[in-house]
Amino acid sequence: MFRFFENLVDPYTPYPPTDHPPTRLFAFLMDYARPFRRVFVWAALLSVAVAAVEIGLIWAMGWVVDILVGDPAEVWEAHGGKLIALGLFILFLRPLLQALDVLVLNNGIMPNFGTLIRWRSHAQVLRQSVGWFENDFAGRIANRIMQTPPAAGEAVFHVFDAITFSLAYVLGAAVLLGEADPRLMLPLILWLGLYAWLMRWTVKRVGAASKAASDARSFVNGRVVDAYTNIHSVKMFAQDAQELDYAKVAIDRSRETFQAEMRLYTIMDVALVALNGLLIVGVVGWALLLWMQGAASVGVVAAATALTLRLNAMTGWIMWALTTFFRQLGVVAEGMETIAQPIALVDAPNAKPLRFEKGEIVLDCLSHHYGRESGGLDDITLTIEPGEKIGLVGRSGAGKSTLVKLLLRFYDAEKGRILIDGQDISKVTQDSLRRQIGMVQQDSALLHRSVRENLLYGRPDASEAQVIAAAKQAQAHEFILSLQDPEGRTGYDAHVGERGVKLSGGQRQRIALARVILKDAPILLLDEATSALDSEVEAAIQDTLYGMMQGKTVIAIAHRLSTIAQMDRILVLDGGRIVEEGSHDVLLSQAGLYAKFWARQSGGFLDPDLPADPEDT
């Protein structure tokens, strides 16, 4: 039975992704709710039916009071069949209707609606560019992805569990009182108007207060996650106290926004008690007056009393449900600030996969300054021949990393273009471009998964033998076999911790190298690929690297100039421009910037922040 209702909607049903998701709240929710439309209709109908049954029971209790006059035997003879039918309805049909209502809501909608939003939100955010992620806290992004689905689910729950039910209930109450005596509707209508005004006053303020509180919670989460992610730096510099102070500012802001939200609830609760007193005195008092005048039966007084007491009990719940509904909408609105952002870096219309042929790379008048006036690259024109090995040298900020990011299309160039085998990379699909490029970075962070899963990231269809062969090439197989995590998993099944924190820098780098070896892409980018290795391992890895380079087009960034001395050509970047190029020997003979870098090396490393001599500027 549960399985039937749980499978009413598949939260992973295919859908067309959009680069421009709706930015208005209800349009956003309706877009996600599209697979649930039929189920929502059933939920609304069942909620109305449950409310109608509850009103009917109050009417029935009034009827029972009215018939309890005279001889019991005569009452039973006249009404026994109806009383039995009423009892059977209460025992069997009412629970069945209630069961259908809660099964549709609790099992059909609630688990699946939140799952669908979380799945699609995660998919949407993953489509964002690297630059988009670099402009926000990972913790805040994750917090919004995690808090938006349950908030949306809660909002939907209250629509059908409280709002639809309460509207049907109040309408039914008005009909019931009107049938008894139209004058009984007057205090109900007056109360309803005041209650609506109180709801409007509360909801108008709760939405904004809730969004402010949600923003503040995300702010706290971002600062706390930032500290935990960089815990090594926190401990190394003994800055626990500073981190506490840094977090306290955000935590106190969260407390203040929550206090403002709670003040609204206090005002609402006090006003609600006063309004409910007006409802009880107005309806019950008027019913008693009508009874004294002979215009109403005892059953009408009993039904009116039961109805107002029920409404009195419900009003707090309805108000709580409504404010919760709008508070959760505030949380969804805050999450939309991340989820509903348009995808800025997209595949061109009708983009085709990259057709790799030889591996020629052409940079044509390439400029990129990240929207600023300086930094990045400035009008670079360069041709890298198929299979050519290029070394990049320059101070920090010279444009080396920018060139690599543009080649991977992590950003779209502000001016110019990049061609691979004559194809503009902005006109091919991003996935096909990156499948042809293998990259090892200076800080190769790993996923918090097993060693095997990290290696297979480079080539998911690789066999176990291929995985092990790649690890051996990267001088990683032996230490991998010795690994064991806290859960007792060993070797290739051992988990490496967040960003690979359970491994040494050299171990992480060797796994990263093995991953790229396994990928075996025809274009290879190396950004200080051996910087985290000790000398003995580096010497062994260098042979592996040179073997990897055979037949590939290679771009290598290095501060240790000896690692790129054997490259076919070395490019010296300065101020975003290529100021020198040539082989190692040619550049040394020119006695230019490269020669000065070489002369200034300490222990084989270039100091990238070392200022140039006056004659160089």
What pLDDT is stored for residue 116 in this prediction? 95
Which tens digit of pLDDT belongs to each residue from 501-554? 788 878 888 898 899 999 999 999 988 766 656 666 666 677 777 778 888 999
Are residues 277 and 205 part of one domain? yes
Is it the case that residue 169 has pLDDT exceeding 80?
A: no
Could you give the 3-state DSSP secondary structure of residue 416? strand
- In angstroms, how far is CA 506 from the centroid of its own chain? 32
Are residues 63 and 134 part of one domain? yes
Are residues 418 and 301 part of one domain? no
What pLDDT is stored for residue 100 in this prediction? 95
CB 195 within 8 A of CB 276: no
What pLDDT is stored for residue 614 in this prediction? 38
Look up the CATH number of the domain holding residue 586: 3.40.50.300
HSE-CB at 376 with a 13 A cutoff on CA atoms is: 19
Alpha carbon dihedral 157, 158, 163, 164, in 10-degree steps, equals 10
Q: What is the overall mean pLDDT for the chain?
A: 86
Is it the case that residue 372 has pLDDT exceeding 50?
A: yes
Q: Which two tokens stand for residue 607?
A: 């100091």
Could you give the 3-state DSSP secondary structure of residue 340? coil
Are residues 332 and 406 part of one domain? no
Are residues 214 and 110 part of one domain? yes
- Among the three residues 339, 365, 394, which one is the final residue of a domain in this structure? 339
Q: Is residue 472 part of a domain?
A: no
First-to-final CA distance of the chain: 78
Which tens digit of pLDDT belongs to each residue from 570-593? 999 998 999 999 999 999 999 889
Q: Is residue 243 part of a domain?
A: yes
Are residues 114 and 50 part of one domain? yes
Is it the case that residue 241 has pLDDT exceeding 80?
A: yes
What pLDDT is stored for residue 615 in this prediction? 39
Is it the case that residue 617 has pLDDT exceeding 70?
A: no
Is it the case that residue 284 has pLDDT exceeding 90?
A: no
Are residues 401 and 333 part of one domain? no
Q: Which two tokens stand for residue 423?
A: 């194809």
Of 246-255, 325-334, 384-393, least confident by mean pLDDT is: 325-334
Are residues 358 and 335 part of one domain? no
Greatest mean pLDDT among 70-79, 202-211, 425-434 lies in 425-434
Exposure string over 508-530, b if 16+ CB within 10 A, otherwise e: bbbbbbbbbbbbebbbbbbbbbb
Look up the CATH number of the domain holding residue 233: 1.20.1560.10
Q: Is residue 498 part of a domain?
A: no
Q: Are strands 423-424 and 415-420 parallel, antiparallel or unpaired?
A: antiparallel
Look up the domain containing 563 and give its range: 345-436+524-529+551-605
Higher pLDDT, 296 or 481: 481
Beta bridge partners of 415: 367
Phi, psi (rounded to 5 degrees) for 605: -110, 145
Which tens digit of pLDDT belongs to each residue from 54-100? 888 888 887 888 788 778 888 788 888 988 998 999 899 999 999 99
Are residues 334 and 223 part of one domain? yes
- C-alpha to C-alpha distances, 98 to 47, 89, 112, 314, 356, nearest whole angstrom: 9, 12, 20, 18, 62
Average pLDDT over residues 439-460: 88
Which residues are within 8 A (CB) of 403 and not within 5 positions of it... i.e. 6 or more apart? 363, 366, 377, 380, 392, 555, 573
Q: Is residue 496 part of a domain?
A: no
pTM of this prediction? Answer: 0.77
Question: Angle at Cα 455 formed by Cα 449 and Cα 457, nearest 5°?
Answer: 80
What pLDDT is stored for residue 537 in this prediction? 64
Q: Is residue 508 part of a domain?
A: no
Neighbours of 356 (CB within 10 A): 18
3-state percent breakdown (helix, strand, coil) of the chain, nearest 5: 65, 10, 25
Which tens digit of pLDDT belongs to each residue from 12-61? 999 998 999 998 888 999 999 999 999 999 999 999 999 888 888 888 88
What pLDDT is stored for residue 248 in this prediction? 92
What pLDDT is stored for residue 530 in this prediction? 67
Are residues 111 and 168 part of one domain? yes
Is it the case that residue 428 has pLDDT exceeding 50?
A: yes
Average pLDDT over residues 424-452: 90
Are residues 88 and 174 part of one domain? yes
CB 517 within 8 A of CB 470: yes
Domain total in the chain: 2
Are residues 350 and 334 part of one domain? no
Q: Is residue 420 part of a domain?
A: yes
- Among the three residues 304, 339, 374, which one is the final residue of a domain in this structure? 339
Cα separation, 554 vs 527, in Å, equals 11
Is it the case that residue 321 has pLDDT exceeding 70?
A: yes
Neighbours of 207 (CB within 10 A): 19
What pLDDT is stored for residue 535 in this prediction? 66
- Among the three residues 275, 304, 339, which one is the final residue of a domain in this structure? 339
